Structure 1
């Protein structure tokens, strides 16, 4: 990505921003034998105890779900043809249309 390129972030309800910060502080994922895995209950509990954060059960569930989605994106990113997950839909459609036009030109059509 170019240094001056603007990064798109999907809208996030301001009241949920603290959970994204918690996930960042938890490092998003854990290392597993075959690659990254979602955060375990033990990891989240240990972090919360050491950080002095009291999590509600639904917050723990959401952090684990967010971690699961992060692992899915990490794994999917191995495919070089996969679009970036933060790309706006209209930009993605434009990129796909350009790719089709290039293919048509290369095919002589």
Structure 2
């Protein structure tokens, strides 16, 4: 997208250290049919290797973020997939929806050339 000069609207990150921890562990791991969410074993092994003892709520959050990451990664393969933070059901976000539709059509046209 940045090659086209399009800068996506991104939500604010209120706790960047949580995202940093997830990226340090890895947002997903390899499965037989593609990426899968982090296993509890992987999270525990990372803690052991790093000498860190994460709080239980943080372990659950990291696992949940990994599940959401893998899910959205699969959904994002569709050209018309809206950003996960975009609420298109209420109709108040029309400019964002319009821009995303235009981007999807542009990507479709460019892929056929």
**Is the structural similarity TM-score above 0.5?**
yes
Distance 2:2 2:28 in 1: 27
Q: Does the C-alpha gap of structure 1 residues 31 and 91 become closer, same or farther in structure 2, counting only changes over 3 Å?
A: farther
Contact in 2 for aligned 1:29/1:36 (Cα 8 Å): yes
Question: What pairs up with 1:50-89 in 2 under 5 angstroms?
Answer: 50-85=49-84, 89=93
Cα separation, 2, equivalents of 1:94 and 1:26? 36
* 1:2 equivalent in structure 2: 2
Partner of 2:47 in structure 1?
48
Match of 1:93 in 2: 97
- TM-score normalized by structure 2? 0.71
Partner secondary structure for residue 28 of structure 1: coil
Q: Structure 1 residue 34: deviation in Å?
A: 1.6
TM-score by length of 1: 0.73
The Cα shift of 1:42 comes to 0.6
Structure 2 CA distance for partners of 1:53 and 1:81, relative to 1, 3 Å: same
Quick one: distance in 2 between partners of 1:38 and 1:97?
29
How many pairs were matched up? 97
CA contact (8 A) 2:27 2:38 kept: yes
Which sections of structure 2, spanning at least 5 residues, go unmatched?
88-92, 104-113
What residue ranges of structure 1 are gaps of 5+ in the alignment?
Answer: 100-109
Bigger relative contact order (CA 8 A; separation at least 6): 1
